Homo-oligomer: A and B are copies of this chain.
Amino acid sequence: MRLSQIFLKTQKNFPSDEVALNAKLLEKAGFIYKNLSGVYSFLPLGWMVMQKIMKVVREEMQAIGAEEIMMPALVSKEIWQKTGRWDAEIGYEVLGKNEKNPEFILGWTHEEVITEIMTHYIDSYKDLPRALYQIQTKFRNEPRAKSGLIRGREFIMKDLYSFHKNKEDLLSYYEKVAQSYHKIFKRLGLNSIYTLASGGAFTTQATHEFQVVCPAGEDDIFVCESCNYAENKEVSNLREGSKCPKCGGKIKKEHAVEVGNIFPLETKYSKDFELKYKDEKGEYQYVLMGSYGIGIGRALGTIVELYNDEKGIIWPKEVAPAKVYLIAIDKNGDDLYEELKNKGIEVIYDDRDIGIGEKFYDADLIGLPYRLIVSPKTGDKIEFKKRNENNVNILEKEKVISLILENN
């Protein structure tokens, strides 16, 4: 992409009305725009990153046999009354409930919706197991949202629901999803800690969260320094310095961000909706369910909280909007730009008619993994610098290309 043609304007200063580092950096670098408190627009570079994250999520969902669907955001009052959620939820958190004659709300989770759908499609044990997910915009009324993309009024989530014949099959898939989530977060550059948590509005069972230790986190978790066993403070009797119940190691308290969560719902929703299947003996049994969420925008916010320095963002490779930031000084960079593209390397070519200082500033702020410079000084060679390292090397073109491709 030629930067002269991309809609991008970086800022010289942090926005004055943001507290969260992720929002400050993403706004300064031109990735997002704040429309309202907790409500953001993704500008072209920001939307590219979101699409990269969604691509990773889709690939890993496909790998565990989950199929993509799209459910409506509008959820009827009736269906929420059926599970007791209509009365249980505090009104202002749910958009739509304060309508004069509320008929539906904007669902921020879809257990009711998917369970009702499945009553029409699951008849027999032959229809199980099944796993369906969606990537959807969700809404929650957070009047004092101030964590940037980590807690918003409007946010994009991946929610997955699974359906099983028996507890064994549910728990085996639950474990599969847990592994898939660790893989997803690893690809996104996030080290996720599997944390015991409470069921909240979803279930009375124990559930699990994927927590990422990060200064911006809103959750307190107790983590074992040796084996990574972790419990959310809400459900934990552990304290800083306690002995780990698994390995006897030392427990540490951390301020963390919940980037994913998984719930073994078992028959909670199937019972509310009479979701049953006929087993091998012809007898009707309740379907067992699990539900599993990942905050896509929240993951992006968490990545930025962790990957940055005083100059700007440092994108992990898999989610960077492009791999290479190319600057040509007193020289035409078109040939190299075309060659890199032809090799399948994503490049942002800063061909704007602005000063070199500004280009260096933006290269660091935008934070692509590799910065390449060609100039009369480099001759046939290329100046190569990684965003996360300080050393600069003048290398042969072939060497540069192979370094980028190897690390892709």
Cβ-based interface call for A213 (8 A): no
User: Which residues in B have their C-beta under 8 angstroms from that of A116?
Assistant: 35
Q: Which of A91-99, A219-227, A385-393, A395-403 contacts B (4 or more CB under 8 A)?
A: A91-99
CB nearest to A143 among chain B residues: B103
Cβ-based interface call for A41 (8 A): yes
CB distance from A110 to the nearest CB of B (A): 9
Cβ-based interface call for A172 (8 A): no
B36 touches A76 (CB 8 A): yes
Cβ-based interface call for A281 (8 A): no
Cβ-based interface call for A6 (8 A): yes
Which chain A residues numbered 18 to 46 have a C-beta less than 8 Å away from chain B? 33, 35-36, 39-44, 46
Which chain A residues numbered 126 to 169 have a C-beta less than 8 Å away from chain B? 127, 130, 132, 136-137, 139, 153-154
Cβ-based interface call for A70 (8 A): yes
Cβ-based interface call for A72 (8 A): yes
Cβ-based interface call for A50 (8 A): yes
Q: Which of A5, A65, A68, A74 neighbours the largest number of chain B CB atoms within 10 Å of its CB?
A: A74
Number of chain copies forming the complex: 2
User: Which residues in B have their C-beta under 8 angstroms from that of A74?
Assistant: 35-36, 39, 139, 153-154
A43 touches B69 (CB 8 A): yes
Cβ-based interface call for A404 (8 A): no
Q: Give CA–CA (A127, B5) in the complex, Å.
A: 10
A41 touches B113 (CB 8 A): yes
User: Which residues in B have their C-beta under 8 angstroms from that of A247?
Assistant: none
Cβ-based interface call for A345 (8 A): no
Given the contacts A72-B39, A73-B137, A139-B73, A67 and B33 also touching, CB distance less than 8 Å: no
A49-81 contact mask (Cβ, 8 Å, vs B): 1 or 0:
010000000000000010111111110100000
Name 5 A/B residue pairs within 8 A (Cβ), A-sorted. A9-B121, A35-B76, A41-B71, A73-B139, A99-B99
